Amino acid sequence: MTIPHSHHDHDHASTGERRLLWAFVLTSITLVVEAAGGWFSGSLALLADAGHMFVDAFALLLAFLGAYFARRPADDKRSFGYARLEVLVGYTNALFQFALVAWIAVEAIGRFAQPEPILSGTMLIIAVAGLLVNLFVLQVLGGHDHDDLNTAGARLHVLGDLLGSFGAVAAALLIRWQGWLWADPAFSILVSLLILGSAWRLLKRSAHILLEGTPDGVDTAQVAIAARASEGVVDVHHVHVWQLAGGRRLATLHARLTEEADAHTALAQVQTILREKFQIVHATVQIERRDCAHEDCGRHAHDDQDHAHDDHNHTHDSAHAH
């Protein structure tokens, strides 16, 4: 059964796209101002934040395009549509962050060795302006669904910008009041380390989905045990669970029934269990009346940890559920 998208869902998606577009425009304007201010004042913290915002502006643009194309319908070449595009965007965003952190680290080491004079007043004004804009952009994006990796990646970048602006403001104050030129590269490195942790978590989660890993909190052995509780089901094997995108779980499994069991009743019960206990929204269930014809069924029965897609070219009946 396919659940149609409501008009409310469409409006919600359109609103999210507009927010991402606004965030991209505001971030682009701010990065130009910070880059000019960093060059004029000699501040690495501002230049680093501007470089960070340049990457983030591009990331926000990718996030907007990802959200837009994800709503496109499926076609003959992409039977699931473009939903996984959001995962690709999240993965790419994280990689950009790693490159940015490396650049900041190299520049900061050079500044520690040879400190350069900084116009702290100009640096402070621009850093405060950038901080206010980042706060506003974060408000524009609003909250997000934990499973929406596309928006999660966009918010990660904006939060990184916010941290960078805080660091630039703090460095400007220390330079202006204490004359500590080392505060500029020091805060740049501190912010880059904070960004690195968030980027690593996003990269790991996105890569896990792209590799079709089992979703967090799902054990395929437990899925098999739960499905065997259905009426007429005597065995469940070849269980594979993965995610198309954040929050959209899919599964395939083989269910062997007794000779007298009603296939439709058993199938409906299995579908209900998968949906209610494991939030699996799309399932392909192979119905069998005798031992599995696959030569590796015995080896993988009940606890199959391989999450590749099954080849369902069998001679027995099959049933599909959405």
Residue 310 has a pLDDT of 39
Q: Cα–chain-centroid distance for residue 93?
A: 9
Tens-digit pLDDT profile for residues 86-96:
788 778 888 88
For residue 314, give both structure tokens: 């069998």
CATH 3.30.70.1350 placement within the chain = 220-321
Residue 233 has a pLDDT of 92
pTM of the model: 0.68
User: What span, in angstroms and rounded, lies between the C-alpha atoms of 143 and 67?
Assistant: 15
Q: What is the CATH number of domain 220-321?
A: 3.30.70.1350
User: What span, in angstroms and rounded, lies between the C-alpha atoms of 215 and 198?
Assistant: 20
- Residue 312: pLDDT over 50: no
CATH 1.20.1510.10 placement within the chain = 7-210
Q: If pLDDT is split at 50, 70 and 90, which confidence band does 318 have?
A: very low
Phi-psi region of 302 (alpha: psi -120 to 50; beta: other; left: phi over 0): left
Contact (Cβ atoms closer than 8 angstroms) between residue 285 and residue 321: yes
Contact (Cβ atoms closer than 8 angstroms) between residue 205 and residue 212: no
Tens-digit pLDDT profile for residues 280-297:
988 899 999 876 666 555
Share of the chain above pLDDT 90, in %: 16
Q: Give the fold, CATH level 3, of 7-210.
A: Alpha-lytic protease prodomain-like (1.20.1510)
Label residue 215 exposed, middle or buried (CB < 10 Å: 0-12, 13-18, 19+). Answer: buried
Least trusted range by pLDDT, from 94-103, 135-144, 261-270, 296-305: 296-305
When the pLDDT of each residue in the chain is averaged and rounded to a whole number, the result is 77
* Cα distances (Å, whole numbers) of residue 9 to 3, 21, 50, 188, 199: 12, 19, 35, 41, 29
Q: What are phi and psi of 115, to 5 degrees?
A: -60, 145
